[in-house]
Structure 1
Amino acid sequence: MSGTLPRIAVVTGADSGIGRATALLLASEGFDIGLTVHEDEEGARRTASDVEERGQRCAMEPFDAASPTAGETVDRLADRLGGIGVLVNVAGTGTSSPVMLLDLADWNSTLATDLTGPFLCARHAARRMVAQGQGGRIVNVTSVHEHVPRLGSAAYCAAKAGLGMLTKVLALELAEHGITVNAVAPGEIATEMTGQDEEDAWRTERRGNPLGRPGHVNEVASVIGFLASPRATYVTGSSYAVDGGLMLMSAHGHDDADAGWRTV
C-alpha cells in the first residue's frame, strides 16, 4: 500500500436521512461524492446540489440495492470520479410481520436490499481499493438490531446481524491492504423511514431511551465521518451504536412490561 486515501466517497441512499447527512458532512471535509438514485430523484438532486455548493464534485448513478448488479453502480461512480477512497452503505429497507405470517417474497426482498446489496457494493469497492493500492474505508450502516432482536422484524434483524458479521469478515480480509471496515448501528433516528421530521429529534419524548429522544441524522453522520477520517486509521471490525443508550435498556424493562409486549 502506498499513497494517501483518495478523497472520493460513494454513499448509497443519500437522497434523504442518514445518507444525505453523511454525503454533506464528507463533502464539507473535502470529499467528492458519488450518490446513488433509486426512487427519490428529486431528493438525490437536492443532495448533489448541496454537495456542489460545498465546493466538491458530485456524480449520480441509478441504483437498486436488491439487484444482482448493485455493485456495478460503485464501479460506474468510481470511473466517473477517478477512484474511490470511502464506501458508505446506507440504503436499506424493512418489513414488519410476525415470522409465522412473513411472506417469503418479503423475506427475500429485505435480505437482498439490506445484506446482499451492501455485500456487492463492498466487494466492488474493495476490489477497486486494492487495485489502487492506497487503502480505503468501508462503513456499513446496520442498526441496533444488528445486536438485539425486535418483535416482528425477523428479516430486518437477520439482514442487519448478517451485515454486522460481514463487516467483521471484511475487516479481517482487507486489513493487509490498509482498508478498514466498520459498522455504525443507529437506534431510532428521526427520518422519513421512521415517519418523522429531522427536527423531531429535539422535540419528541422517548421515555424508554436514556437520553429521552430519537437521534438526529447528523449525530449518526458524525460517527461515520470519524470512521472515514485520518483519526480512525487503527479502527476496524467494530460496530458503533448511535442509539442514545437504548441498548443499555435491553435487560432493564421486563419487570415493568405489561402483557401487551408480545404483540407486534
Structure 2
Amino acid sequence: MVRIDARCSDRARNPESSKENFQMNKPLENKLALITGSSRGMGAATAIRLANDGASVIVNYAASAARADAVVEEIRRTGGKAEAVRADLTTLDGIAVLASSADTAFGGAFSGRVDILVNSAGTVEFGPFLESSQEAYDTHFNLNIRAPVELTKKLAPRMVQAGWGRIINISSAFGEAAPLAGVTLYIASKFALSGFTRGLSRELGPTGVTVNGIQPGPIDTELAPPPGTPGYDANVGLTSVGRYGKVEEIAAAIAFLCSPDAAFINGENLNVDGGWNA
C-alpha cells in the first residue's frame, strides 16, 4: 500500500511523469498507419496491434467489407481509431484510391500524411511454372511488388518532408530461399520485394525514414494447409520449432520495427520464420 500511495503521490506532483508513461505505453500516438490487405490474417493482426500502440489505422480491403468492418470494430471497441478503405491493389486505379484516402482519413486530421506504411497484401498460387498463365504472372507481380512500389512512391514524400516514417514490407521466408517447388512466381516476386526494401533503405535512411521487411515463415491463417495434410507437414518440417507461427507474432515484429526502439534498424529483412531460413 505504501508503494502504491508513493507512486500516486509522485504522479500528482509531476504530471509529466504520467505523460511519459502514457507515451511509453502508446509509442505510436498521433501517427497514421496504413496497412494493406488488413481485413484478415497478418494484416488484420497488425492493424489491431498498431492501434493498440496508439496509431490511427487505415484498414484496407479488396472484397469483404464485413471482414474489414469487423477489424475496425475490434479496434474501436478497445478505444482505438480505425477506418476501412476498399481498394483493389492489383490495379493502378486502386492504388491511387488507397493513397488518396490519407487526405480524408479521420476528418483530414493528418493532412494527407501517412507515418507508417505496412505493405501486407499479397498472393500466392501453387503449380508448375511451365504450366503457369500470364494471368498468374500479372497477379503475382502486380500485387506482391508493383503495389508496394507504387504506394511507397505516392506516400513516402510526405514522410521525408516530416523527417520521420516507417515503411514495412511483408515479404516471405521465400524472399531469400527456395526450399519448395511449385511457387516460382511467388518466390520471384518476394525476392523483388526484399530487394526493393534494401535499395530504398539506402535512399531514405538519411531522411529519417526507415525501410525494413518482415519475412514470415509458415503462419497459421486460413490460407495455410491444415494439420494432417502433406502441405502442413512440409511447411512445419522446414522450421526448427515444429509449428506454425501466429499472426500476432508477425504483428509484434512489425510493431517493434515501427517503434522508437528500432530507429537504428534500416534495410533489414527480418526472418520471423521459426528457424525456416536458419
User: TM-score scaled by structure 1?
Assistant: 0.85
The farther-off stretch of 79-88 and 90-99 is 79-88
> What residue number does 1:122 align with?
152
Amino acid at match of 1:216: K
Is residue 2:172 matched to residue 1:148?
A: no
Report the 3-state secondary structure (helix = DSSP H, G, I; strand = E; otherwise coil) of the residue aligned with 1:69. helix
The farther-off stretch of 31-40 and 53-62 is 53-62
- Candidates 208, 214, 218, aligned match of 1:184: 214
> What residue number does 2:163 align with?
134
Q: Distance in 1 between matches of 2:195 and 2:30?
A: 26
**Deviation at residue 78 of structure 1 after TM alignment:** 4.5
Is residue 2:185 matched to residue 1:161?
A: no
Report the 3-state secondary structure (helix = DSSP H, G, I; strand = E; otherwise coil) of the residue aligned with 1:10. strand
Q: Distance in 1 between matches of 2:150 and 2:238?
A: 36
Relative to structure 1, the CA distance from residue 196 to residue 207 in structure 2 (aligned partners, 3 Å threshold; closer, same or farther) is closer
Relative to structure 1, the CA distance from residue 75 to residue 128 in structure 2 (aligned partners, 3 Å threshold; closer, same or farther) is farther
Q: Distance in 1 between matches of 2:215 and 2:69?
A: 27
Relative to structure 1, the CA distance from residue 208 to residue 165 in structure 2 (aligned partners, 3 Å threshold; closer, same or farther) is closer
The answer (yes or no) to whether the contact 1:185–1:241 under 8 Å persists in 2 is yes
> What residue number does 2:133 align with?
103
> What residue number does 1:74 align with?
99
Q: Distance in 1 between matches of 2:102 and 2:225?
A: 30
Runs of 4+ aligned structure 1 residues displaced above 6 Å come to: none
Relative to structure 1, the CA distance from residue 5 to residue 170 in structure 2 (aligned partners, 3 Å threshold; closer, same or farther) is farther
User: TM-score scaled by structure 2?
Assistant: 0.81
The answer (yes or no) to whether the contact 1:6–1:134 under 8 Å persists in 2 is no
Amino acid at match of 1:38: A
> What residue number does 2:258 align with?
228
The answer (yes or no) to whether the contact 1:11–1:90 under 8 Å persists in 2 is yes
The answer (yes or no) to whether the contact 2:30–2:56 under 8 Å persists in 1 is no
Q: Distance in 1 between matches of 2:103 and 2:83?
A: 9
- The percentage of counterpart residues that share the same residue type is 28
The answer (yes or no) to whether the contact 2:29–2:55 under 8 Å persists in 1 is no
**Deviation at residue 69 of structure 1 after TM alignment:** 2.8
> What residue number does 1:48 align with?
72
Relative to structure 1, the CA distance from residue 106 to residue 208 in structure 2 (aligned partners, 3 Å threshold; closer, same or farther) is closer
* Higher-RCO chain (CA-CA 8 Å, sequence separation at least 6): 1
**Deviation at residue 88 of structure 1 after TM alignment:** 0.5
Report the 3-state secondary structure (helix = DSSP H, G, I; strand = E; otherwise coil) of the residue aligned with 1:117. helix
Is residue 2:38 matched to residue 1:14?
A: yes
Q: Pick the structure with more helix per residue.
A: 2
Relative to structure 1, the CA distance from residue 196 to residue 50 in structure 2 (aligned partners, 3 Å threshold; closer, same or farther) is farther
The answer (yes or no) to whether the contact 2:29–2:54 under 8 Å persists in 1 is no
**Structure number with larger C-alpha Rg:** 2
Q: Distance in 1 between matches of 2:225 and 2:66?
A: 19
**Deviation at residue 191 of structure 1 after TM alignment:** 0.3
Amino acid at match of 2:172: S
Report the 3-state secondary structure (helix = DSSP H, G, I; strand = E; otherwise coil) of the residue aligned with 1:215. coil
Q: Distance in 2 between matches of 1:18 and 1:242?
A: 12
Q: Distance in 2 between matches of 1:77 and 1:54?
A: 23
Query: Cα RMSD between the aligned structures?
Result: 1.8
The answer (yes or no) to whether the contact 1:7–1:31 under 8 Å persists in 2 is yes
> What residue number does 1:254 align with?
none
Relative to structure 1, the CA distance from residue 6 to residue 70 in structure 2 (aligned partners, 3 Å threshold; closer, same or farther) is farther
- Candidates 36, 59, 75, aligned match of 2:83: 59
List gaps (5 residues or longer) in structure 2.
Answer: 1-27, 228-234
**Deviation at residue 77 of structure 1 after TM alignment:** 2.8
List gaps (5 residues or longer) in structure 1.
Answer: 198-204, 249-264
Q: Distance in 1 between matches of 2:165 and 2:237?
A: 40
Aligned residues between the structures: 237
